[in-house]
Structure formats: C-alpha cells, structure tokens
Structure 1
C-alpha cells in the first residue's frame, strides 16, 4: 500500500483531527505545529502567537482509497476559510486556515481547489486560506493526540 502525507490547518486541531480520522482511506493522523520559526515549539509557546506556527493535522492516507482532492473537499467543509487568523472563538495566527503542500502536485491541486471554493458562492467573504510548502512538522504533546477520542467526544466541525 502506498501512503501519502497531507497537512492541514483549520483552527483548533482537536476537531480537525477527529474529522479527518473518520475518512475511509486515512490511515493515521497526528496533531502538531508547522509553518513557524521556533524549533521544538510547545503548545504554550504556540498559544502566545509569537512562533509563527499553526495548529495543524498531519494526515497519512492511501491514495488508492481516498484522493488528495477528496481530503481538500473535506477540509473546506470543516471550517470557515474566510476568517483570517480565527476560527470561532479561537483567535490568533496559530488558528489560521492553511494547506501545507508536500509536492508540486499537491500545491497545484490545492490552488485549483481554493480558486473553485472562492468562486463557488458558498462564502459571503473571500477565502483567505494560505497555500504553503510543507515545512518541518512538530508533533504536539501526547495529551493533544486524539484528544477528543480519548474523552469520548464526537463532534462535527462546521
């Protein structure tokens, strides 16, 4: 089985991880921090909104079962991509909407998907999601991994 990696930021990573974990073909998820300048970031440091990191979810998937485009479609449906540095009550650049691309193919698909989403009429405001090259992904502390599942909480994002 071939596996690929996709990385998404869509606000607080707990609900995003839960939603991606439900997708058939997703073989694993982990939450963490990416896109910033601080080495070995901690949750406390990222919450200060000074590290440049976003709370993100790294998704490992089998492209024979679920396509990257299907993951992008899921991403758009689980948050509001029109709010800059905010999702619901969570405010700060660590909660920004972003797609961190691991290949040129992912980047092209993400850019095309963003353009379609922005032109869809679904949103009252322009989509502000960032399409970025994937950088080092720093796994979050263990207590954040599968946080909602460990507590028996099953929510739907957006």
Structure 2
C-alpha cells in the first residue's frame, strides 16, 4: 500500500483496441492500484465484460466505456482488432481517432496526473492541454515496457 509521504496519482489509460494491449494495460493498472493509485481505464463498451474479472482493484480501477464510432467499411458492432480481418485493422484506428473529442471531454472532467497511451498520437497534446503528463506505454507478447515522454510546453 502507499506510504503516508508518497503521493497517490490519478492515472488515465487509453490503449489500442486489441485485447493483448488492453490486458497489458490492465496488468499495469493492477500494479499501480496495488500502490494505491486511482485508475480511469477507457475501453470499448462491449469489451468491459472480458476485462472485469481481471480487475483486482475495482475500488481503484474504474472502467470507462467508450462507444466505438461507425467508420465506413468497419463491420457494425466491431470494437477491437479481433473483430476485423488483419488488413482492415486501420479502420479500428480510424474509429479510435474519432473518439478524440470524447477523450478530451473525459480528461477535462477527470483531471488525471498521467495518461498512458500507445497508438493514439494525438493523446499527448490532449494530456498536456489538461495539465497531465503522457506516458507512451508499449507492450508486446513477452513483456511490457514504458517510457515517459513529455513535450515542451
């Protein structure tokens, strides 16, 4: 748990809409929550039921469902990379890009200290706009690593 002198953080997370990325982000969220940090975890609406059993700290990790916007060519109801053929995964990214205004509004309300992200290159500017640092978190099948990137003001 958190020592009295250690500051707890509010962390927002917005991962690529693929289960491998989402579960990696949730593993990190669980580790951060073990230390007493609060997590706001953005994820596609229908995907929440798949991750809920793996949320070990529901009192600190809050799932915030994001409606995946319709994109021409994206199958109706598709929310993650698993829902489309490999060659059509760019449509998931196009849909994620259309969530920018939603994420902007949520960051404005939540006021996190840090925002973890991977494939949304527009997220650091939004984080900065709302006074948060952005953390580019890259995961792969064998391990995860992260780096803190802060752009000049």
Structure with higher helix content: 2
TM-score (norm 2): 0.33
TM-score (norm 1): 0.32
